[in-house]
Amino acid sequence: MQKQFSSPSAPIGVFDSGVGGISVLKHIRALMPQESLIYAADSKHAPYGNQTHEFIQARSFHLAEFLLSQGVKALVVACNTATAAAISSLRERYPDLLIIGMEPALKPAVAATKTGVVGVLATSGTLKSAQFAALLEHYAQGVEVVTQACIGLVECVEKGELTSLSTTALLKQYLQSLLSAKADTIVLGCTHYPFVRALIEDIVGGDVVLIDTGDAVAKHLKNRLQDNQLMCALDELGSVSFWSNNEADDTEKVMSALWGSPVSVARLI
């Protein structure tokens, strides 16, 4: 590893197309409270699922450069769509930087299903990606996978509308095809979706298992930090800073609600 990435006391950088990656940030915080964290929300360009491959790559490079300018020791791409579009290019550009990505949790979902039908909620960008096709090829043999692109759902979470009538209506619409196919396990294939998990549970009932990857990503990050001797050894709570390019007046209110306590949000260029 190059010297600039080798300080255990340096922060971990996390970015997403918007506020959804805060769901991953919370798992990282719970597992490694001593680590300092920097979160960058590219909300001005959310959702990435509607953007081109080239655009997502360009934004991912921009956010990575910003977080590197803040001195991060590791980078978490807390976005399934950005991971699919850009993580290979990010690793090529920064070969000495520890980079962790996301992918829909098909493997545990296939292991959990009893009906043999797995549902996947994701953005259209994730579902159309070569990475998702490879996951299907590798893990989905012998089961039926029903996918549903959730157009508009990211925008609901970005606005903090976690229990609104419009969000409920969208979810009922998108979950209908999965329930009709008798899916008993549903993958939350976007980091925004865990924030409406309670609403999804109300709609699908207690017999359907919901799976998201935030906890697994945090554990993988911890293992990689340990392998590279980059775990922070300080016995104190690490700092957390939030950055966003969202121009909405309620940005701090929404991000504070999702994080679970008041936060101040710096301006991301």
Active site residue 150: no
DSSP one-letter string for the chain = --GGG--TTSPEEEEESSSTTHHHHHHHHHH-TTS-EEEEE-GGG--GGGS-HHHHHHHHHHHHHHHHHTT-SEEEE--HHHHHHHHHHHHHH-TTSEEE-----HHHHHHH-SSSEEEEEE-HHHHTSHHHHHHHHHH-TTSEEEEEE-TTHHHHHHTT-SS-HHHHHHHHHHHHHHHHTT-SEEEE-STTGGGGHHHHHHHH-TTSEEE-SHHHHHHHHHHHHHHTT-----SSPPPEEEEE----TTHHHHHHHHHTS---EEEP-
What count of other Cβ atoms lies within 10 Å of the Cβ of residue 159?
Answer: 16
Active site residue 79: yes
Active-site position among 79, 150, 156, 232: 79
Catalytic (active-site) positions:
79, 190
